[in-house]
A = this chain, B = another copy of it.
Amino acid sequence: MNKIPVGILGATGAVGQRFIQLLENHPWFEVAWIAASQKSAKLPYAEAAKWKMNTAIPARVAKMTVSAADPRSAPKLIFAALDAAIAQELEPRFAATGHAVITNSSAFRMQAEVPLVIPEVNGDHIALLEQQEWRKKRGGYIVTNPNCSAIGLVMALAPLARFKIEKVMVTTMQAISGAGYPGVPSWDILGNVVPYIAKEEEKMEAEAKKLLGSLKRSKIAPADFAISAQCNRVPVEDGHTESVSVKFGKKATADQLIRAFADFPNKIAGLNLPTAPRQPVFYDTAADRPQPRLDINRGGGMTASVGRMRPCNVLDWKFTVLSHNTIRGAAGAAILNAELLKVKGYLD
């Protein structure tokens, strides 16, 4: 099978590197074009990028020349790993010239006609892209995946939605890789907790409602629950841990809730997407799990791990959820989105 050529915008940064790592040996996609900022352009990738993954830089990509971020030379399918400010400007330029922009950036996530997608949760939302002017005119579009802290929360909440979620409290303990490279100075985080991540609480709250909302007459009606997030940075390399408490409209037992994770009506079941984990949400019965060091790689980093379901004296139930912030929460999320778009015919 001929693989589909893909381009990566922002290829030298931390998420860009994760894209390149995860796409090595991908059965459908092949990195064919990499772009980065002006100062990297024309350099071999191995020279332009300070490679920070814990596997070797793929030999083929290492030798590729970094392009300028010019849509004319790029393949149709683009993965974007750009800072929001740059994405704001570049992504529409690519979409307007017919590219399928699958982006991890926050720039367009909350825009009405842009799908914000976790395939297992709301894969049907991709239909929204038909509303985009870019699509109508030249076939291009933008599809986004959520913030790295929203994705674990929403994956844990989605299976519980049948009990009618009314209120959600979440406190996060987020890994430093979520801030990219160089990101968090070690001076700030070694042996420390920083109880603030700029704009993170707002993103979590807004994105969770859009993700759990429903597609009605080509629009997303956001889910109707109250949500409050408190975001903290902790000295962990990868993996966002979240203490969650939920109030439901329907009574549920711990057993029913735990079973709901296993029975999750996963919207991509049966599609055999290469990056989809066998089990999107795994419930661990051990008293002290999930833990980032032990559990982030479950399902190739694509499974959200949940544990400690127990009654809450203020809302109804509380639990802990963990997800890999740069795989399930960034590059892996975008790749899974692209796989869904492929099988749904949006890459033809």
Contact = CB atoms under 8 A, between A and B. Distances in A.
A184 B189 CA distance: 11
Interface string A157-188: 00000000001110101001100011111111
Contacts of A189: 186, 190
Contact of A184 (B186, B239, B245, B296): B186
Contact of A241 (B176, B185, B186, B193): B193
A319 B205 CA distance: 17
A39 interface: no
B173 A193 contact: yes
Interface stretch (A90-98, A213-221, A225-233, A249-257): A225-233
Interface residues of A, number: 63
A54 B294 contact: yes
A293 B228 CA distance: 26
A243 B245 CA distance: 13
Interface string A194-235: 111000000001000000000000000000001110101011
Interface in A287-320: 287-298, 307-308, 312-315, 318, 320
**Residue of A55, A181, A241, A298 contacting most chain B CB atoms (<10 Å):** A241
B228 A232 contact: no
A234 B235 contact: yes
Contact of A183 (B167, B171, B187, B193): B187
A316 to B, nearest CB: 10
Contact of A171 (B14, B171, B294): B171
B288 A195 contact: yes
A70 interface: no
A187 B191 CA distance: 11
A25 interface: no
A237 interface: yes
Contact of A320 (B188, B195, B235, B288): B195
Interface string A5-19: 000000000100000
B243 A171 contact: yes
A236 interface: yes
Contact of A245 (B185, B230, B292, B294): B230
A228 B195 contact: no
Given A183-B186, A293-B54, A228 B192 contact: no
A290 B196 CA distance: 10
A265 B290 CA distance: 42
Given A181-B185, A186-B190, A190-B235, 9 more contacts: A53-B294, A173-B232, A182-B182, A182-B187, A182-B188, A191-B191, A195-B291, A205-B313, A230-B320
15 contacts: A52-B188, A169-B314, A181-B187, A190-B293, A191-B235, A191-B236, A191-B292, A192-B293, A192-B294, A195-B288, A195-B290, A195-B308, A205-B313, A227-B314, A232-B243
